[in-house]
């Protein structure tokens, strides 16, 4: 019976993938995001003469309206850009810990983590970075032809005049009704008294429209100063003033040194600390590269063969163990970046890999935390007619962040403080453990897994991609790169293919429901892996570029749309 159920699920999955395995084509530009309205707004900006960065900023503000659970201006993110002339930038607009934050803030008198404090209270929020980041990118790297008002106008219109809820968004509100009802300002906007939300209901966000209008007329000061700042500070006064005027004024998005690596004939550009994504992706590609060239006899590295899954799991185990110990905000912690990224370090790390047996992760108790199954971060990829490419991942962390809306300002605050290590060895929401490198300090940024990435071929953008998914972001981006480079998939097949994930601790190999055959499960168990089935892993949105144009791949998981022109 179980066998039949598995077979059935695999057939359904194959059907989904084969029915819709064609990417969307465009010759002049491509936007892939989690919202049809936002993708359309991005394309409109490109058609109006904006470049990929203008479009990325406009999409970011639009998502703040259309995708409340994740795309919010109450949060932060990372942007990776590569221009046709070869210029590259990586911008960090991650939240910063308020000045009142301190190492043990989430511990009780007995040194135990206080359940929920870093997730669902006012203290869960870092100082939001999205507004500063999106505006900085637009100002420094935009075409100069799209004024600020034009950039924000589509988002303001959506918030003010309302937009029709998709079935997916309506269901998401309904599914989260209890959580959205806990805070009065949140309840007023995101729940209905009379009935549940339905597809086609018009969703208005008047306060958010006012906040966006202030940003459109005053730029950064429309958020970090004046009325918006006052509303944030007043909300925070309810708990004694967690985020202050000073904290808001001090917020600064920062350009970081891009993380660069290579695999086969490709160069990879990704995000550095305070994201762990870039370093881990390159580390893992380095290990795989050595294994694929050195193993004798060579292993079967076919897509999702048991050897392939085993090797990637072993590689992931080692990379995530390094993450827990060595990675944190490099403004506060000396991240041994050069060593971690070097081929010689990879050579050292793979010495302990046994090609037929799983290594045991050590015995640190990973607690009872479940890895979440819904994707509450968002990724979008954009390419313009000149071949400029932008890859952006933003988040307020878990679904609807802390659940606390800034009264009068209409946006939900992040719960990104949970991405810090509240206590060494105690896992966060995503089961990730950490140590001193990611301990809480005022003004520090919590370690992230977000991995907006651009892959170059002959020094030109070839892939633009990223995904939500907490700790699974890094392994999802890795698998997507390999799906195209090693397994010859088009971008739509790449993002839609079944995925698996492991992260050192907990010592488990997760796979998407119905995606592994019984034989594969048995093979992997024989090698010593502890397997667990789970829901969707990530929602990858990517673009592939070749001589025929731009190819958009929107993940079938969730509600993603690729639009080209």
- Least spacing, CB of residue 468 vs ligand DON, in Å: 4
- Least spacing, CB of residue 277 vs ligand DON, in Å: 8
Alpha helices in 162-225 (DSSP H): 167-175, 177-180, 184-190, 206-218, 221-224
For the chain, the distance separating the N- and C-terminal CA atoms, rounded to the nearest angstrom, is: 48
Residue nearer to ligand DON on the CB measure, 377 or 496: 377
Residue nearer to ligand DON on the CB measure, 434 or 468: 468
454-493 residues in contact with ligand DON (CB under 6 A) are 468-470, 473
Task: Say if residue 547 is exposed, middle or buried (CB neighbours under 10 Å; 0-12, 13-18, 19+).
Answer: exposed
Tokens 């819709």 belong to residue: 20
User: Is 155 one of the binding residues for ligand DON (CB under 6 A)?
Assistant: no
Question: Which residues have C-beta within 8 Å of that of residue 222, sequence separation ≥ 6?
Answer: 131, 211, 213, 214, 215, 216, 228
Tokens 């980041």 belong to residue: 133
Residue nearer to ligand DON on the CB measure, 6 or 395: 395
Give the strand order in the sheet containing 24-26: 24-26, 549-554, 541-546, 460-465, 453-457, 266-270, 259-263
Residue nearer to ligand DON on the CB measure, 6 or 472: 472
Only one of the segments 6-14, 345-353, 445-453, 489-497 lies at the binding site for ligand DON (rule: CB under 6 A); that segment is 445-453
How crowded is residue 366: how many other Cβ atoms within 10 Å of its Cβ? 19
Q: Which entry of 121, 228, 313, 377 is annotated as an active-site residue?
A: 377
Task: Say if residue 206 is exposed, middle or buried (CB neighbours under 10 Å; 0-12, 13-18, 19+).
Answer: exposed
Only one of the segments 103-111, 169-177, 289-297, 372-380 lies at the binding site for ligand DON (rule: CB under 6 A); that segment is 372-380
User: Is 54 one of the binding residues for ligand DON (CB under 6 A)?
Assistant: no
Among residues 54, 95, 314, 376, which is the contact residue for ligand DON, using CB under 6 A?
376
Residue nearer to ligand DON on the CB measure, 283 or 377: 377
Q: What are the CA-CA distances from residue 287 to residues 83, 271, 518 (Å)?
A: 29, 19, 28
Question: Which residues have C-beta within 8 Å of that of residue 254, sequence separation ≥ 6?
Answer: 91, 92
User: Is 247 one of the binding residues for ligand DON (CB under 6 A)?
Assistant: no
User: Is 402 one of the binding residues for ligand DON (CB under 6 A)?
Assistant: no
User: Is 377 one of the binding residues for ligand DON (CB under 6 A)?
Assistant: yes
Q: What are the CA-CA distances from residue 114 to residues 120, 505, 529 (Å)?
A: 11, 21, 33
For residue 328, give the nearest of 377, 279, 379 by alpha carbon: 279
Only one of the segments 354-362, 402-410, 446-454, 499-507 lies at the binding site for ligand DON (rule: CB under 6 A); that segment is 446-454
Residue nearer to ligand DON on the CB measure, 101 or 383: 101
Coil, strand, or helix at residue 381?
Answer: strand
Among residues 118, 244, 361, 449, which is the contact residue for ligand DON, using CB under 6 A?
449
Residue nearer to ligand DON on the CB measure, 148 or 473: 473
Among residues 90, 397, 496, 560, which is the contact residue for ligand DON, using CB under 6 A?
397
Residue nearer to ligand DON on the CB measure, 401 or 564: 401
Residue nearer to ligand DON on the CB measure, 469 or 498: 469
The pairing of strands 509-512 and 531-534 is: parallel
Concerning whether 377 is annotated as a catalytic residue, the answer is yes
User: Is 419 one of the binding residues for ligand DON (CB under 6 A)?
Assistant: yes
Only one of the segments 22-30, 228-236, 343-351, 373-381 lies at the binding site for ligand DON (rule: CB under 6 A); that segment is 373-381
How far apart CA 530 and CA 527 sit, in angstroms, is: 9
- Least spacing, CB of residue 372 vs ligand DON, in Å: 6
- Least spacing, CB of residue 216 vs ligand DON, in Å: 27
- Least spacing, CB of residue 82 vs ligand DON, in Å: 22
- Least spacing, CB of residue 414 vs ligand DON, in Å: 8
> Quick check: 515 and 534 in contact, CB under 8 A?
no
- Least spacing, CB of residue 397 vs ligand DON, in Å: 4
> Quick check: 256 and 273 in contact, CB under 8 A?
yes
Helical (H) or strand (E) element with 163: strand 163-164
How far apart CA 321 and CA 276 sit, in angstroms, is: 12
Only one of the segments 27-35, 49-57, 369-377, 505-513 lies at the binding site for ligand DON (rule: CB under 6 A); that segment is 369-377
User: Is 451 one of the binding residues for ligand DON (CB under 6 A)?
Assistant: no
Residue nearer to ligand DON on the CB measure, 54 or 419: 419
Coil, strand, or helix at residue 120?
Answer: helix
Residue nearer to ligand DON on the CB measure, 314 or 376: 376
- Least spacing, CB of residue 182 vs ligand DON, in Å: 19
Among residues 121, 395, 475, 476, which is the contact residue for ligand DON, using CB under 6 A?
395
Question: Which residues have C-beta within 8 Å of that of residue 54, sequence separation ≥ 6?
Answer: 45, 46, 138, 142, 143, 145, 146, 151
User: Is 448 one of the binding residues for ligand DON (CB under 6 A)?
Assistant: yes
| Binding-site string for ligand DON from residue 59 to residue 88, where x marks contact by CB under 6 A and - marks none | ------------------------------
- Least spacing, CB of residue 156 vs ligand DON, in Å: 27
How far apart CA 469 and CA 374 sit, in angstroms, is: 8
Coil, strand, or helix at residue 532?
Answer: strand
How far apart CA 134 and CA 56 sit, in angstroms, is: 8
By CB under 6 A, the count of residues binding ligand DON is 15
User: Is 372 one of the binding residues for ligand DON (CB under 6 A)?
Assistant: yes
Question: Which residues have C-beta within 8 Å of that of residue 144, sequence separation ≥ 6?
Answer: none
- Tell me the catalytic residues: 377
Give me the residues that bind ligand DON (CB under 6 A), please: 372, 375-377, 395, 397, 416, 419, 448-450, 468-470, 473
């Amino acid at each position: 019976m179980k066998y039949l159920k598995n077979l059935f699920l695999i057939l359904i999955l194959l059907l989904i993938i084969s029915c819709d395995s064609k990417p969307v084509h465009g010759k002049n530009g491509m936007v892939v995001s989690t919202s049809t309205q936002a993708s359309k707004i991005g394309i409109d900006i490109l058609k109006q003469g904006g470049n990929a960065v203008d479009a990325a900023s406009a999409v970011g503000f639009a998502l703040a309206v259309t995708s409340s659970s994740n795309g919010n201006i109450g949060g932060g993110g990372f942007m990776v850009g590569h221009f046709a002339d070869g210029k590259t930038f990586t911008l960090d607009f991650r939240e910063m810990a308020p000045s009142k934050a301190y190492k043990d803030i989430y511990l009780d008198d007995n040194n135990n983590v206080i359940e929920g404090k870093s997730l669902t209270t006012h203290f869960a929020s870092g100082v939001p970075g999205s507004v500063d980041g999106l505006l900085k990118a637009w100002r420094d790297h935009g075409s100069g032809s799209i004024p600020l008002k034009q950039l924000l106008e589509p988002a303001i219109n959506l918030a003010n005049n309302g937009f029709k809820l998709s079935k997916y968004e309506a269901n998401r509100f309904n599914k989260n009704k209890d959580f959205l009802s806990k805070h009065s300002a949140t309840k007023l906007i995101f729940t209905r008294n009379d009935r549940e939300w339905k597809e086609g209901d018009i969703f208005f966000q008047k306060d958010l429209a006012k906040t966006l209008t202030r940003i459109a007329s005053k730029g950064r000061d429309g958020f970090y100063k004046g009325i918006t700042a006052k509303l944030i500070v007043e909300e925070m006064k309810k708990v004694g003033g967690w985020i202050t005027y000073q904290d808001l004024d001090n917020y600064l998005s920062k350009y970081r040194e891009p993380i660069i690596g290579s695999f086969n004939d490709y160069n990879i550009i990704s995000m550095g600390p305070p994201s762990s994504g870039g370093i881990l992706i390159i580390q893992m590609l380095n290990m795989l590269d050595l294994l694929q060239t050195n193993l004798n006899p060579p292993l079967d590295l076919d897509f999702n063969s048991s050897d392939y899954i085993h090797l990637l799991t072993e590689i992931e185990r080692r990379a995530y163990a390094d993450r827990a110990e060595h990675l944190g905000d490099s403004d506060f912690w000396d991240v041994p970046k050069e060593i971690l990224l070097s081929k010689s370090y990879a050579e050292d790390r793979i010495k302990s890999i046994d090609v037929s047996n799983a290594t045991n992760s050590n015995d640190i108790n990973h607690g009872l935390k479940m890895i979440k199954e819904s994707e509450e971060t968002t990724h979008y990829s954009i390419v313009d007619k000149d071949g400029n490419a932008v890859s952006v991942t933003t988040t307020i962390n878990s679904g609807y962040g802390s659940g606390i809306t800034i009264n009068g300002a209409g946006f939900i605050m992040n719960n990104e403080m949970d991405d810090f290590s509240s206590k060494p060895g105690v896992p966060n929401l995503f089961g990730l453990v950490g140590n001193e490198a990611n301990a809480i300090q005022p003004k520090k940024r919590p370690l992230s897994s977000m991995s907006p990435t651009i892959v170059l071929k002959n020094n030109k953008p070839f892939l633009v991609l990223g995904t939500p998914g907490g700790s699974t972001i890094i392994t999802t981006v890795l698998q997507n790169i390999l799906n195209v480079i090693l397994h010859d998939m088009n971008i739509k097949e790449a993002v839609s293919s079944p995925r698996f994930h492991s992260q050192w601790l907990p010592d488990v190999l997760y796979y998407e429901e119905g995606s592994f055959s019984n034989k594969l499960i048995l093979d992997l168990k024989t090698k010593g892996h502890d397997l667990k089935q789970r829901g969707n892993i990530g929602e990858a949105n990517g673009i592939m570029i070749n001589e025929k144009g731009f190819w958009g791949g929107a993940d079938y998981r969730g509600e993603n749309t690729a639009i080209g022109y």
